[in-house]
Amino acid sequence: MALKLSAKTRYAVRLMVNLALNYRQGPVQLNEISAKEGISEKYLGQIVITLRSAGLVRSVRGAKGGYLLVNDPSEVSLKDIVEIMEGGMDIIDKFENEESGSSEMCITSHVWDKVGRAINEVLENIKLNELAHRVQEESRPMYFI
């Protein structure tokens, strides 16, 4: 078994970066993000429902409606998104660890806890505005003389 994030989580991050790129410029429609990112609009619709329920995005109705970030992109971390989409970031099941009672689990549980804390710290320190800035930098044309 590999330690990896679901496609739904990765797509949620891409959706949120698109909203960050348009922060304070008005709502973004899912069909725009779908076309830009090559992700099914229907799938993005499922993702945005989860993000809206969690309070990270809000919807605007009407012809020029769409979705907006609730908070400034500098206040939203990857950890916020990952925890919502994955249901937490524990790399081992705490209940399984407590129930097993094996000496191996007791010896290694602190290692897995340390790895989990490191992952959480990295994700907490990466904000949406940084990712949006990186996207803007990479999309600028480069000129060579």
pLDDT digits (tens, 9 = 90+) for 62-72: 888 999 999 99
Confidence of residue 113 (pLDDT cuts 50, 70, 90): confident
Number of domains in the chain: 1
Q: Is pLDDT of 94 > 70?
A: no
Residue 114 lies in a domain: yes
Residues 56-73 as b/e (b if ≥16 CB within 10 A, e otherwise) read bbeeeeeeeebbbbeeeb
Q: Is pLDDT of 93 > 50?
A: yes
Residue 113 lies in a domain: yes
From 86, 22, 32, select the one nearest 57 (Cα to Cα).
22
- Lowest mean pLDDT, pick from 62-66, 67-71, 81-85, 140-144: 140-144
Residue 91 lies in a domain: yes
β-strand 57-60 against 66-69: which pairing, if any?
Answer: antiparallel
Average pLDDT, stretch 26-52?
A: 96
Residue 145 lies in a domain: no
**Residue 75 maps to which CATH number?**
1.10.10.10
* Residue bearing tokens 């996207």: 135
Dihedral sign, Cα of residue 42, residue 47, residue 49, residue 52: negative
pLDDT for 4:
82
The DSSP call for residue 38 is T
Domain hosting residue 95, numbered range: 7-137
Residue 68 lies in a domain: yes
* Residue bearing tokens 């830009």: 36
pLDDT for 145:
63
Q: State CA 113 to chain mean position distance.
A: 22
User: Model's pTM, two decimal places?
Assistant: 0.84
Distance CA 7, CA 67 (A): 21
Residue that wins the pLDDT comparison between 112 and 141: 112
